């Protein structure tokens, strides 16, 4: 089987963790590198969590440290959902940290060049690392196959009424990435809010499991309480959508359009403005906006991948 090379850039919280666990067990995936960015929690924690996760899965992927703060704004974190440690208090042991001096953007660029246009970039945190790569290496777009982003929303928001968390945290970096010329797939809240597990589905996926499945159960408890408290049917695994889009595009549907990020207004800061609901009026259609998925298949696929542990 020809494997698909993939790079994951994440702010390792609860759903980022699920994406990493799934990526490791996808037979079609060649996970080339992981980079950490500040987002759900501070960079030192997201970076450490990447190590915790790879140790848990018994893997040894290269992990790179990225940006510790957004381009211009103070860091906003999301401990109210991911917990102080970013992993819902699941208490994974911390293995020795890798000693890689290159920052995330240098390592990503080197990998993109090595794979000569085949590398799929899955970005599931604020886009600071990727924007740094774009600015430092203007030829990066020609070496990436595309970027699949968990971020934004055609409609609504979760961090503010208009903005999704990853984009809100660093809207200027996000705008740089959307305008970079890298083909973008946006898995925003339109689709990811439909990509949820109920409490019973988490129990079923975690049943009779070892350490990994126990972690899946423990790490999601706090988020489940938070989400059901809001009246939602379960916890969304937002970041897994972006990963799965690379490997199972037929699980999803959406529309092509233009997407640009609001960086000026205080009321709508971080909104991903798209023309898919307004006659496709933007001159340049830079993105595919994912809008829906087969939830049953999504739940089944994660459950099956976790059962591999």
**Closer residue to ligand BDR in complex, CB, 143/293:** 293
CB 6, CB 23: distance < 8 Å: yes
**Closer residue to ligand BDR in complex, CB, 69/280:** 69
The vertex-226 CA angle with 225 and 231, nearest 5°, equals 90
Check 24, 238, 280, 285 and give the catalytic one.
238
CB 19, CB 10: distance < 8 Å: yes
- For residue 78, the partner it binds in Ca ion, ligand BDR, none, with Cβ less than 5 to 8 A by kind, is ligand BDR
99 burial type by CB count under 10 A (0-12 exposed, 13-18 middle, 19+ buried): exposed
Smallest separation (angstroms) from ligand BDR to the CB of 159: 7
Smallest separation (angstroms) from Ca ion to the CB of 1: 28
Q: Is 82 a catalytic site residue?
A: no
Query: Which among 283, 239, 278 has a CA at the least distance from the CA of 255?
Result: 278
**Closer residue to ligand BDR in complex, CB, 16/85:** 16
CB 10, CB 36: distance < 8 Å: yes
**Closer residue to Ca ion in complex, CB, 26/37:** 37
Smallest separation (angstroms) from ligand BDR to the CB of 94: 20
C-alpha to C-alpha distance for 231 and 233, rounded to whole angstroms: 7
- For residue 258, the partner it binds in Ca ion, ligand BDR, none, with Cβ less than 5 to 8 A by kind, is none
CB 298, CB 273: distance < 8 Å: no
- For residue 272, the partner it binds in Ca ion, ligand BDR, none, with Cβ less than 5 to 8 A by kind, is none
- Token digits of residue 220: 């999601």
Smallest separation (angstroms) from ligand BDR to the CB of 167: 8
CB 6, CB 246: distance < 8 Å: yes
> For binding to ligand BDR (CB under 6 A), which residues are involved?
13, 15-16, 40, 78, 124, 150, 158, 164-166, 238-239
Measure Cα distances from 270 to 40, 81, 166, 167 in Å. Answer: 16, 20, 9, 5
> For binding to Ca ion (CB under 5 A), which residues are involved?
11, 16, 124-125, 239
C-alpha to C-alpha distance for 152 and 186, rounded to whole angstroms: 7
- For residue 163, the partner it binds in ligand BDR, Ca ion, none, with Cβ less than 5 to 8 A by kind, is none
Smallest separation (angstroms) from ligand BDR to the CB of 31: 18
- Token digits of residue 121: 């970039």
**Closer residue to ligand BDR in complex, CB, 115/191:** 191
- For residue 45, the partner it binds in Ca ion, ligand BDR, none, with Cβ less than 5 to 8 A by kind, is none
User: What amino acid positions are annotated as catalytic residues?
Assistant: 238
């Amino acid at each position: 089987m020809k494997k698909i090379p993939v790079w994951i850039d994440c702010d390792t919280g609860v759903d980022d963790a699920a994406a990493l666990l799934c990526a490791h067990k996808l037979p079609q995936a060649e996970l080339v590198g992981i980079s950490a960015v500040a987002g759900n929690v501070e960079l030192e924690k997201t970076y450490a969590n990447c190590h915790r996760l790879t140790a848990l899965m018994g893997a040894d992927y290269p992990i790179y440290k990225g940006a510790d703060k957004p381009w211009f704004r103070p860091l906003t974190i999301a401990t109210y959902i991911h917990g102080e440690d970013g992993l819902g208090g699941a208490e994974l042991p911390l293995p020795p940290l890798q000693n890689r001096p290159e920052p995330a953007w240098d390592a990503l660029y080197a990998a993109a060049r090595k794979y000569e246009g085949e590398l799929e970039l899955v970005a599931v945190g604020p886009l600071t690392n990727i924007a740094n790569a774009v600015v430092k290496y203007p030829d990066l777009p020609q070496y990436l196959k595309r970027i699949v982003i968990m971020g934004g929303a055609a409609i609504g928001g979760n961090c503010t009424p208009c903005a999704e968390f990853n984009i809100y945290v660093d809207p200027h970096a996000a705008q740089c990435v959307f305008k970079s010329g890298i083909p973008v797939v946006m898995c925003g809240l339109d689709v990811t809010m439909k990509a949820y597990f109920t409490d019973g589905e988490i129990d079923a996926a975690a049943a009779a499991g070892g350490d990994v499945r126990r972690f899946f159960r423990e790490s999601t408890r706090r988020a489940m309480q938070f989400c059901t408290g809001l009246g939602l049917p379960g916890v969304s695994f937002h970041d897994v959508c972006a990963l799965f889009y690379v490997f199972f595009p037929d699980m999803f549907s959406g529309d092509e359009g233009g997407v640009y990020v609001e960086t000026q207004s205080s009321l709508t800061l971080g909104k991903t403005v798209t023309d898919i609901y307004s006659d496709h009026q933007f001159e340049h259609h830079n993105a595919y906006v994912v809008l829906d998925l087969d939830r049953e298949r999504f739940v089944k696929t994660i459950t099956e991948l976790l059962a591999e542990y």
